[in-house]
Structure 1
């Protein structure tokens, strides 16, 4: 059985959604980031980076959402969570996921979760930088109706993590970002995502 180490509402939700959408045989282990459980010796033995997610498999532990999402899609092909019709189509999904993890996530994270919290001009600059990344997805990377086009993929759950954060923070304006807001609504309406929200003690936003 697969074991996912996660923190409620954090980026690990992307991997949680993928596992649920895939119908995988898995269990979840909550890591309380506020209590710094991610820095305990027990968890550092699982993921020395001290972050979530981490997915324990029979072959070993995988970290980083982009890798875990790829693993879930490839080990559960019947769920059709990735376009494998060509090497290019699959690589295009990997490129999208890499952008989310390496570009959008850090930008939004700095705007919302910087420690100590940013103030005045620094806060405004960080927010503007995050909005530029959201705009890039809205205008160029998002294919529609789902992230990669006609079919739902692991990229959709991943994207929804960051649009959820943006909506909660009040800066994912529906007029400025209609595609991303519509997408988040449709992702949150999916039974698998509703099950994940319930399991993590969360509600749709």
Structure 2
């Protein structure tokens, strides 16, 4: 059985959604980031980077959402969770997930999770940088009702994480980001996503 280490509401929710959408045989273990559980010897033995997600498999531990999403899609081809049969479309799927991991996540993460919290002009600049990343998705990277167009993929569950963070922080303005807001509502309504949110003690935002 697969074992996914998560922290409720953190970016690992994307991998949790992936496994649930796939109908995979898995279990989860919560790592409490607020109490520093990710820094314990027990968890560092699983993921030396001390972050979630981490997915224990029969072939070893896989980390990073982008890698886990690709793995889940490829190991559950009957669920059509990514365009794995088209090398170019699959590259686009991976490229979008890479953008989320390397560009959007750090930008919004700095706004929301810097300790001590950002203040004044420094915060304003960080917010505008983060919003510019969301604007790229709104204007260019969101191809239709879903990230890749007319069909759901696991990239949609990954994007949901950052849409939720922005909406909860009052940054996902409906006038500026109508497509992202509609996308978030659409993905949160999926049964698998609702099950994941409930299991993490979360609700739609």
Q: Which residue of 1 aligns with 2:97?
A: 97
C-alpha distance in structure 1 between counterparts of 2:4 and 2:24, whole Å: 11
Output the TM-score relative to the length of structure 1.
Answer: 0.99
Q: Where does residue 136 of structure 1 map in the other structure? A: 136
> For each residue in 1:113-166, what CA deviation from the matched residue of structure 2 results, as whole angstroms up to 9, or x when unmatched?
111110100000000000000000000011011011111001000000000000
| DSSP-derived class of the 1:157 partner | helix
Root mean square deviation, CA, Å: 0.5
What's the offset of the Cα at 1:202?
Answer: 0.4
Q: How far apart in 2 are the matches of 1:58 and 1:123?
A: 44
Matched, 1:164 2:157: no
8 Å contact from structure 2 (residues 73, 84) kept in 1? no
User: What CA deviation, in whole Å up to 9, does each residue of 1:21-40 have, x standing for no partner?
Assistant: 00000000000000100000
Gaps of 5+ in 2: none
Q: Which deviates more, 83-92 or 127-136?
A: 83-92
Which residue of structure 2 lines up, in the alignment, with residue 197 of structure 1? 197
Question: How far apart, CA to CA, are the structure 1 residues paired with 2:188 and 2:145?
Answer: 14
Name the residue aligned to 1:174. Answer: 174
| Partner SS state of residue 127, structure 1 | helix
Q: Post-superposition shift, 1:84? A: 2.6
Q: Unaligned stretches of 5+ in structure 1?
A: none
- C-alpha distance in structure 1 between counterparts of 2:140 and 2:120, whole Å: 30
Normalised by the length of structure 2, the TM-score is 0.99
Count of aligned pairs between the two proteins? 205
Residues 8-157 of structure 1: pairs in structure 2 closer than 5 A: 8-157=8-157
Q: CA deviation at 1:86?
A: 1.6
User: Which stretches of structure 1, 4 residues or more, deviate above 4 A after TM superposition?
Assistant: none
